[in-house]
Each structure stands twice: as C-alpha cells, then as structure tokens.
Amino acid sequence: METFDNILAIIDDFVWGVPLMVLILFGGLLLTVRLKGLQFSQLPRALRYMLKNEKGGKGEVSSFAALCTALSATIGTGNIVGVATAIVAGGPGALFWMWLAALFGMATKYSEGLLAIKFRSIRKDGHVLGGPFYYIERGMGSRWKWLAKLFAFFGLCAGLMGIGTITQVNSITGAITNFFDPNNTATVMLFGMEYSWAVVISSLVLALLVGLVLVGGLRRIASVSEKVIPTMVIIYVVFSLILIFANITELPAAFVTIFESAFGLQAAAGGMLGAIIIAMQKGIARGIFSNEAGLGSAPIAAAAARTNEPVRQGLISMTGTFLDTIIVCSMTGLAIVMSGAYLTPGLEGAGVTIAAFQSGMSFIDGTIVSFILMLCLALFGFTTILGWDYYGERCLEYFTNGSMIAVKVYRWLYIAAVFIGPYLTVSAVWTIADIFNACMAIPNMIALIVLSGVVARETQSYFSRLKAANGIEANMTPRPSDEADWKVPYEDTLSREAMPEADELSEPVKA
C-alpha cells in the first residue's frame, strides 16, 4: 500500500504541476478581465437571482434546484476534510491560494453556467442534455469531439473512483468512527486488515440510503438537495461563527500566519520557493475539489435549469463558488489556523477539523462538538455522493452515445463504490480524487479559454437588453439567435433511438 501511495503521489505532483495551476489561474484571470470583474460588480444581483426563479423558462428543474444539485456536489467533505488536508500538507498559506483561486473561479463558474445553457439541447419530451462535452463539441466544432469524449471519460471516473464516492464515504465513516468508536474497541477483520464495526455498519447504511435516492433520478436528487443543502450550510456557518467570535482575539494573528505562509515567509532560508509552490498546489487543488470551478461538473447540473437566459444561470452558478469557498471553506480554515490543530502530530483528515473545533469551543462539551461536526460531515458527504452520481451518469450518457444499459450498470457500480470507500487509506483516496479532477479540468479550461469571446458577447447582450428594459427582466427583448455561435447544426447530435424518454432516467433500476 505504501508503494501504491508513492506512485499516486508522483502522478499527482505531475498533473497538478505548475502548468495546470497556471492554466486554471490564467483562465480565471482572462475571464475576469473579459467580463470586467463581473463576479464582483454583479454578485448582489446573482444572490437575488439565486432566490428568485425565472418564470416561463425551459428546462427540467428550477434554477434554485439546479444550483442546489450543483451545491450538493460541491459543498461536501472538501469543505471540512479537504481544507484540513490542504493546510496540513501545504501550511496555512494553502487557504490564501484557495481564496485567490475561488475569486477568479467565480468568473470561471459563471462562464460554465452560461455556456451550459447556451449550448444545451432540450428534446421534445423535455429531457435536457448539457455540460462541458456539449459546449466543447458544439462551441468549438465537431473536430474537437475527442476532447469532449475525454472530459466525459474522466468525469465518469471521477464520480465512480474519486470525488463522488470514495473520498466522501471515507471521510463520513472516519468521522462516525471517531465519534462512536474512537479507540477501535469493536473491530472485525476484512481484506486482511482490522476495521471498526462503526465503519462497516455506516458504509452499509450509507450505500442503502444512496441507492434509495439514486433510483429516483434527477428530480429526487434535486428535491433532497433543496431541503438538505440550505439547512446544513446555515448550521455549519453558525457553528463556525460561534468559534471565531469566541476566539476573536486570535483572528488577526491567524490572517498574518496565512499570508506569511502563502508567500513562504515562514520557510527556512532557501526553502521559500518550495513552500510557495506546495501551498499553491494544495490550496488550488483542494479549492477546485471543493468548489469545482473550472472542473466542468457544475454546468452539467446547470444545463437542466428552467431558464431562457444563459447569463442569468451563469450568475446563479457563480454564487456556488462564493458560498462554498469564500464562506464555508473559510470557516473551516480559520478554525484550524486559529486553534493550531494542523500542527498536532498524527492527526489527519476530519480529525484535524474536529480537534480545531473542540479546542476553539472548549466551553462546549467535546462530545457535542464532535457530534455536530460528524452530522455536518455526513450530510455534506451524502449530498455530494448524490450530485456526483448525476454528473457521472450524464458523462457516461454522452460517452456511450446514450446507452441506458451502461448508465444502469454505472449506478450499481456507484453504489458498490460507496460501500468500499472506507477501506482505502486517506492519502490514497484524496490523491486519486486530485488526479481525476486535474484530468477533467484540462479539457474544460481549454474550452472556456477558447469560448471566452462567446461568453463576453453573450454577457454584453444580456446587460444591454436589461438596461434598455430599465432593469426589468420581464420587459427585455428576446435573445438573439444562437446559431452563429454553434459550430454544428442547432439540434441534438445524439440519435433519437439511442436516447431514453425523459422519465426513464427516473424509473427504478431493475437488477
């Protein structure tokens, strides 16, 4: 296992090297410039749109439901465990690079949501097809279909073997075991190793719950997400704010530590550059793992939103990165840095975050703190598992030209992956997720850079029409035709016979 971990680490260092980090930051910076800092100037409007669904739009679910589906996949264990692993591996400075990537990432996420709506297809039966594979093929041209297929392949792998299943359930069962059986007193031998019964039971229960939701398709996933996401975010943010205000005197020093670490000022002589690169690598990688800006996953959900305006959905999609990283990840990161828990030898993953909250909230019984964090982590991870199954299915649907047999097999494999997730090491799990994330980000970022002019024109058109309508959406003139931006015929490129009816994806899977 140690050899396997070392091989994964070499691959991870290669794919998450300087070139990819430059590509992601350059893409975000380019879009920020071409959009004139839209993520800052239009954030209040985006937050209003988030809570106000468009009337009469075409799609499968409301814009808010599409956002919640995307947030169900983004606000997950990365916000609790991912931030901890980034700070442990890259130092407190990783949090700074996470923030920077998120600020540029808001422009990236906006562009992803816009292009998802602009280049989607809505069949006569209402089934929506959209995502990076469609805006790569249709926006860049059919000769780039191989790049779209590549994205789809890595997307289904990421869902099945990375960010969607193994990392989530590994973190969930780890937190549950830490609460119910921290000393591993009730154990069983599996796969030649000893595991707590808490791990076995929790993985079985989780796999069962996931299976019950997944057979309901997108609408059931969206329904669950709409109810769970707002509640759990509020609980976690309030809990974190209590810790921060209770230790408010430590906050200035925490920010100093973060900025010094980000620029290698705490490193020994000669190690400054290395410290900066490690902090950048871990911060950007975990930031993308958490908010998925540039990854290309969120536009798969955004494409299903009931809207006629790509810009509107782009603004709503943008709020996901703001809520995920600027708000939720910051809470976790500040708690860890303020408490110094990242310096504790032997702690990893959820244990770092739990130790940070227990230290920072010593006025509350440690068992209560641990239980609340365990509950948040379980809910965060559970909804992420649901969202990534939808992503993986849509990737597979595109990759196989609409084979529903492949999609049904994928669902069962996905549920099985949820069960086996706890039996892999923490380091291996997160490294595998990082590798697949990078492989998804490369084709998606190439497409966003190439199509940045399309994004800019669409944005300018929307705000010009909105201004002419005195800021009243209902009075806006209809959008100009999209045909000039499509490089393939303005129609569904998948054969009608190969595709299921819209409600077939929501029918129970039969063994």
The residues pairing with 193 across neighbouring beta strands, listed in sequence order, are: 190
Dist. CA 143–CA 362, nearest whole Å = 60
pLDDT for the residue 217: 64
Q: Which of these ranges, 110-114, 288-292, 308-312, has the smallest mean pLDDT? A: 288-292
Q: What is the mean pLDDT of residues 241-261?
A: 92
Dist. CA 342–CA 319, nearest whole Å = 29
* Single-letter residue type at 263: F
Q: Which of these ranges, 112-126, 292-306, 419-433, has the smallest mean pLDDT? A: 419-433
- Exposed, middle or buried: residue 445 (CB in 10 Å: 0-12, 13-18, 19+)? buried
Half-sphere exposure of 63 (CA within 13 A, CB side): 31
Determine the distance from the C-alpha atom of residue 102 to the mean position of all C-alpha atoms in its chain, rounded to a whole number. 12
Q: What is the mean pLDDT of residues 153-176?
A: 82
- Percent of the chain at pLDDT exceeding 90: 26
Q: How many residues does the chain have?
A: 511
Residue 498 pLDDT greater than 60, yes or no: no
Residue 65 pLDDT greater than 50, yes or no: yes
Q: Which of these ranges, 145-154, 168-177, 239-248, has the smallest mean pLDDT? A: 168-177
Give the pLDDT confidence of 342-375 residue by residue, as tens digits.
Answer: 888 877 777 888 889 999 898 888 888 888 888 8
Residue 289 pLDDT greater than 70, yes or no: no
Residue 62 pLDDT greater than 50, yes or no: yes
pLDDT for the residue 465: 94
pLDDT for the residue 29: 93
pLDDT for the residue 72: 66
Residue 42 pLDDT greater than 90, yes or no: yes
The residue with tokens 């997307």 is: 155
pLDDT for the residue 1: 62
Residue ranges of E strands in 90-145 = 121-122, 128-129
Pick the residue with more confidence: 186 or 392? 392
Pick the residue with more confidence: 261 or 226? 261
Q: What is the mean pLDDT of residues 425-432?
A: 70
pLDDT for the residue 247: 92
Residue 456: other Cβ atoms inside 10 A: 17
Instruction: Give the DSSP letter string of 58-86.
Output: -SSB-HHHHHHHHHHHHSSHIIIIIHHHH
Pick the residue with more confidence: 21 or 217? 21
Q: What is the mean pLDDT of residues 161-185?
A: 80
- Give Dmax over CA atoms of the chain in angstroms: 69
Q: What is the mean pLDDT of residues 427-452?
A: 86
Per-residue confidence band for 43, with pLDDT thresholds at 50, 70 and 90:
very high
Contact 321, 107 (CB under 8 A): no
* Single-letter residue type at 55: K
Dist. CA 86–CA 94, nearest whole Å = 6
Q: Report the chain's mean pLDDT, rounded to a whole number.
A: 82
Dist. CA 261–CA 225, nearest whole Å = 36
Helix axes 166-180, 404-420, angle to 10 degrees: 30
pLDDT for the residue 504: 38
Pick the residue with more confidence: 268 or 230? 230
Q: Which of these ranges, 195-199, 264-268, 451-455, 461-465, has the smallest mean pLDDT? A: 264-268
Q: Which of these ranges, 38-52, 123-137, 234-248, 439-453, has the smallest mean pLDDT? A: 123-137
Per-residue confidence band for 446, with pLDDT thresholds at 50, 70 and 90:
very high
Contact 261, 98 (CB under 8 A): no
User: Residue 189: enclosing H or E segment and its boundaries?
Assistant: strand 187-190
- Percent of the chain at pLDDT exceeding 70: 88
- Exposed, middle or buried: residue 159 (CB in 10 Å: 0-12, 13-18, 19+)? buried
The bridge status of strand 121-122 relative to strand 128-129 is antiparallel
The answer, as to whether pTM is greater than 0.85, is: no
Q: Which of these ranges, 201-210, 219-228, 454-463, has the smallest mean pLDDT? A: 219-228
Half-sphere exposure of 16 (CA within 13 A, CB side): 27
Residue 40 pLDDT greater than 90, yes or no: yes
pLDDT for the residue 10: 82
Contact 117, 302 (CB under 8 A): yes
pLDDT for the residue 107: 95
- Exposed, middle or buried: residue 508 (CB in 10 Å: 0-12, 13-18, 19+)? exposed
Residue 475 pLDDT greater than 80, yes or no: yes
pLDDT for the residue 501: 39
Q: Which of these ranges, 84-88, 163-167, 197-201, has the smallest mean pLDDT? A: 163-167
Determine the distance from the C-alpha atom of residue 284 to the mean position of all C-alpha atoms in its chain, rounded to a whole number. 13
From residue 334, give the alpha-carbon distance in Å to each of 84, 100, 182, 374, 408.
Answer: 10, 15, 25, 19, 42
Dist. CA 149–CA 18, nearest whole Å = 25
From residue 297, give the alpha-carbon distance in Å to each of 45, 73, 334, 440.
Answer: 23, 9, 27, 9
Q: Which of these ranges, 197-211, 262-276, 336-350, 431-445, has the smallest mean pLDDT? A: 262-276
Contact 92, 255 (CB under 8 A): no
Contact 21, 281 (CB under 8 A): yes
